[in-house]
């Protein structure tokens, strides 16, 4: 596969160096200039500007149009989304080459591809990168740090490292494979397969982490004359170990499902409930 791609690259305008520069600019600026109005558009344009200049060598008009074109609304997940940058560059290359012929690639095709793919790709990236990879790395860092180990403070850096490697790989393959192969890949079952497996790993880990890190139990006991005190937590443990942490996760889950994701309102509620139940000794955080 890789030797195949090397062959393709020899016939193309942009070198690895150009692609790395483009990726570096994207990587640096993707969230810096994020605004409510266009989200990642400015970063997208900024990232591509150098490569576009090279593709539209002497064609000022084409270059200007391309810059303006890529300032339009754009938002996706930054890591997997880099495949879109790659494909767009390959399309711009085609457009720049065929500017005088009648079958030149139209602007609508490029913008259509971008806006059509940014949603589905964001879904993939959020699942794999932010829903699976990030919490696993941070959980590992947390458990090391909780044991007082120095390395725990360094482990979070594995995440940006992984993002850089995956993101650049996505952009390069997008550029070399082009629009048709990427669309085909999206439609093939392979991506779904990958998401499914990553989701399984993610859910499995969320279960393990919930059980490890959600610490809630009840100190309630009822004592009667001439009898052993009844410890509520012991009864709960006989029914199901971890029933309270489980109730916490799914209580929140169903709150979000039914009421919408009002994150801060829920945090407030949780704190109020914690203070009340903690104050009266109904629950304890261990």
Partner 1 sequence: MNLLVAALCGILYFIGTSRLGYGLSQATGSPIFYGLILGLVYGEVEKGLIIGATIQLIYIGIIFTGGNMPADQSLAGIIAIPIALQTGMNVEVAVGLAVPFGILGIFIDQLRRITNSYWVSKAEKYAQVMDTRKIFHCAITYPTITIFLLTFTPVFVITLFGANAVTSIMNILPQGIIDGFSVAGGILPALGFAIIIMVIGKREIMPYFFIGFFLVAYLKVDVMAAAAFGFCVAALTMFNSIKQKQKEVN
Question: Is 75 exposed, middle or buried (CB count within 10 Å of its CB: 0-12, 13-18, 19+)?
Answer: middle
At its nearest, how many Å lie between partner 1 and the CB of residue 45? 6
**What residue has token string 């879904």?**
123
Residues 30-69 that bind partner 1 (CB under 8 A): 30-43, 45-46, 49-50, 53, 60, 63-64, 67-68
# residues near partner 1 by CB under 8 A: 119
At its nearest, how many Å lie between partner 1 and the CB of residue 8? 26
Considering only 94-102, 109-117, 171-179, 196-204, which stretch makes contact with partner 1 by CB under 8 A?
196-204
Q: What are phi and psi of 74, to 5 degrees?
A: -150, 135
Of the pair 50, 169, the CB lying nearest partner 1 is at 50
Residues 223-252 that bind partner 1 (CB under 8 A): 241-242, 245-246, 248-252
Q: Where are the beta strands (DSSP E) in 135-286?
A: 221-222, 230-231
DSSP 45-107: HHHHHHHHHHHTSS-HHHHHHHHHHTTS-B---TTTTHHHHHHHHHHHHHHHHTSSSTTPPPH
Question: Is 25 exposed, middle or buried (CB count within 10 Å of its CB: 0-12, 13-18, 19+)?
Answer: middle
Binds partner 1 by CB under 8 A, chosen from 165, 185, 230, 267: 267
87 scored as a contact of partner 1 (CB under 8 A): no
Considering only 3-11, 86-94, 123-131, 176-184, which stretch makes contact with partner 1 by CB under 8 A?
123-131
Considering only 1-9, 11-19, 109-117, 151-159, which stretch makes contact with partner 1 by CB under 8 A?
151-159
Contact (Cβ atoms closer than 8 angstroms) between residue 85 and residue 22: yes
Binds partner 1 by CB under 8 A, chosen from 185, 200, 230, 235: 200
């Amino acid at each position: 596969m890789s030797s195949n791609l090397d062959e393709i690259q020899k016939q193309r305008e942009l070198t690895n160096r150009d692609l790395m520069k483009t990726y570096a600019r994207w990587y640096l600026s993707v969230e810096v200039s994020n605004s409510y109005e266009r989200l990642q558009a400015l970063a997208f344009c900024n990232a591509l500007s150098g490569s576009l200049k090279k593709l539209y060598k002497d064609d000022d008009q084409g270059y200007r149009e391309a810059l303006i074109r890529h300032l339009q609304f754009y938002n996706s997940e930054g890591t997997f989304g880099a495949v879109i940058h790659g494909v767009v560059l390959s399309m711009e290359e085609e457009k720049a080459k065929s500017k005088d012929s009648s079958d030149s690639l139209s602007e609508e095709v490029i913008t259509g591809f971008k806006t059509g793919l940014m949603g589905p790709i964001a879904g993939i990236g959020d699942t794999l990168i932010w829903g699976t990879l990030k919490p696993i790395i941070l959980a590992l860092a947390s458990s090391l740090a909780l044991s007082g180990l120095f390395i725990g403070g360094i482990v979070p850096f594995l995440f940006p490292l992984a993002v850089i490697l995956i993101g650049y790989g996505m952009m390069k393959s997008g550029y070399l494979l082009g629009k048709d192969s990427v669309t085909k890949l999206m439609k093939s079952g392979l991506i779904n397969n990958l998401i499914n497996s990553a989701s399984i790993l993610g859910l499995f880990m969320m279960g393990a982490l919930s059980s490890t890190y959600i610490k809630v139990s009840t100190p309630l006991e009822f004592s009667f004359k001439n009898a052993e005190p009844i410890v509520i937590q012991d009864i709960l443990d006989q029914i199901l170990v971890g029933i309270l942490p489980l109730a916490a996760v799914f209580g929140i889950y169903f709150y979000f499902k039914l009421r919408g994701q009002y994150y801060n309102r829920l945090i407030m509620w949780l704190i109020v409930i914690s203070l009340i139940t903690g104050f009266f000794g109904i629950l304890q955080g261990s």
